[in-house]
Amino acid sequence: MRVAIIGAGLAGLSCALTLEKHGIIPDIYEQFDRCGGRVPFIICLLQLIHRPVPDPLVDLNINYGINIRPINPLKKIIRFSPNKMARSEGQLGYIFEMGPSSRSITSQLCEQLSARIKFNTVAGLNQLLPDYDRVVVATGSPNLAKELGLWTDVFRCWVRGAVVEGDFDPSAWVIWFNKTYFNNGYAYLAPFSSKKASLVTIISDVLEKDLETHWQMFLDTEKIEYREKESFILEHISGVCHQKEIGKTILTGNSAALMEAVFGFGLYNAVISGVMAAQAIIENTSYEEKIAFLNKKLHQSILLRRRLNAFKDRNYDQLLEVFNIPPLNHLIYNTNLDILKHHAIFSELISDKL
Ligand SMILES: Cc1cc2nc3c(=O)[nH]c(=O)nc-3n(C[C@H](O)[C@H](O)[C@H](O)COP(=O)(O)OP(=O)(O)OC[C@H]3O[C@@H](n4cnc5c(N)ncnc54)[C@H](O)[C@@H]3O)c2cc1C
């Protein structure tokens, strides 16, 4: 059987590894000259998002056969709203590197692969379809689903980020919420090491040309003075993809809108969708059915995103006050309560009605 995979990111490589385990060597097309793109950044696997799964990293390994190593455990989350601060500690998840380095997730997956990747090749679906039995789209982009009329936007924003140098806690994730700089987005600082970190702003309802002003306003007001190294700007779109299997074509990861809509987390679902695409191809079964269980969580994240879009700055302050009540902080961060499922209850604790 001839299988093509467009994109050597998390979904594409997870699909390729699973196919290989079953004796199918796919052709993998990647637009860049290496796995992981050009810009390094940090991503987190936050246990809270994936509940009731007790440990999403173990889950990916045991239940999906994908083995990836974090660079550090995530043990501390510090949140700032305009007038409040809240801190949570515990076994909160994992910190991973993305990008060109040999430590990045994509480099780790590439190392496990036998198939050779066709680098520097921008592949198009229509060009590949005549030559392959199945084509897996793993481009990380909504473009194809949009062209096919299968996509509805949920949350659009710009991401302006940089690698920064300074002194950092290697297991802490710092988050800022503030409508003045980010509108309905947020910012985070997450460490590569004790000397290097990713500083990333996610800004909604802004023109690309005004991004720099927002970035600078954030740095100046919060008195952030790290040395900025490589920077990047990209558009971030979460949405709903109404059909993910179209004839011989399978959409995975971000191309299938499998990134959740609150923080833009998509690692876990990208890996699972890649594995499920491979299994559906091997077994000749329905891919849509295999990934249907992801839809409930994605829907919950859309509901929470809508609530967050209605937040004012004072609501973020109130939310952080909730996190500062020790039993609630414990319940939210140190148990296995499915917060996404029950988020409405926590929103009700915020006094003015949204
Ligand atoms: C700054 C940032 C921070 C993030 N933080 C988190 C986080 O903390 N936690 C989390 O879970 N998720 C996070 N995410 C989201 C997560 O990285 C994505 O959801 C995940 O990488 C999606 O995987 P994918 O395989 O669908 O796409 P990608 O990983 O984007 O891979 C797509 C690949 O396809 C290639 N490609 C595209 N078009 C073509 C073409 N036509 N031909 C050939 N190759 C092509 C690209 O070059 C790329 O290598 C973050 C994303 C960003 C950008």
pLDDT averages per 10-residue partition of the chain, 354 residues:
97 98 97 90 95 95 98 98 96 96 96 94 97 98 97 96 98 97 97 98 96 97 95 95 98 98 96 98 98 94 92 94 90 85 66 49
Contact 137, 257 (CB under 8 A): no
**Nearest atom, ligand 1, residue 254 CA:** 26
What is the pTM assigned to this prediction? 0.96
Same domain flag for 199 and 321: no
Between the CA of 140 and the centroid of ligand 1 the distance, in Å, is 5
User: To test the ligand 1 pocket, which listed residue (13, 154, 254) has its Cβ within 8 A of the most ligand atoms?
Assistant: 254
Closest residue by Cα to residue 86 from 336, 347, 316? 316
14: left (phi over 0), alpha (psi -120 to 50) or beta: alpha
Provide the pLDDT for residue 354: 47
**Nearest atom, ligand 1, residue 236 CA:** 53
Any domain includes 354: no
Q: List ligand 1's pocket residues with C-beta within 6 A.
A: 6-12, 29-32, 37, 41, 43-44, 122-123, 138-141, 159, 161, 200, 253-255, 259, 264-268, 270
Provide the pLDDT for residue 58: 98
Same domain flag for 228 and 188: yes
Closest residue by Cα to residue 159 from 46, 240, 235? 235
Domain range spanning residue 320? 313-348
Provide the pLDDT for residue 353: 47
Same domain flag for 243 and 133: yes
Provide the pLDDT for residue 349: 59
Between the CA of 231 and the centroid of ligand 1 the distance, in Å, is 17
Any domain includes 21: yes
Closest residue by Cα to residue 203 from 233, 228, 181? 181
Provide the pLDDT for residue 350: 60
Any domain includes 195: yes
Helices (H), 155-251: 179-182, 211-221
Same domain flag for 83 and 231: yes
How many domains, in total, are found in the chain?
Answer: 2
| Chosen domain end from 289, 305, 321 | 305
Helix 293-309 × helix 267-283 angle, to 10°: 150
User: To test the ligand 1 pocket, which listed residue (267, 291, 297, 301) has its Cβ within 8 A of the most ligand atoms?
Assistant: 267
Between the CA of 9 and the centroid of ligand 1 the distance, in Å, is 6
Beta-strand runs (E) in 166-296: 172-176, 186-191, 196-204, 227-241, 245-246, 249-251
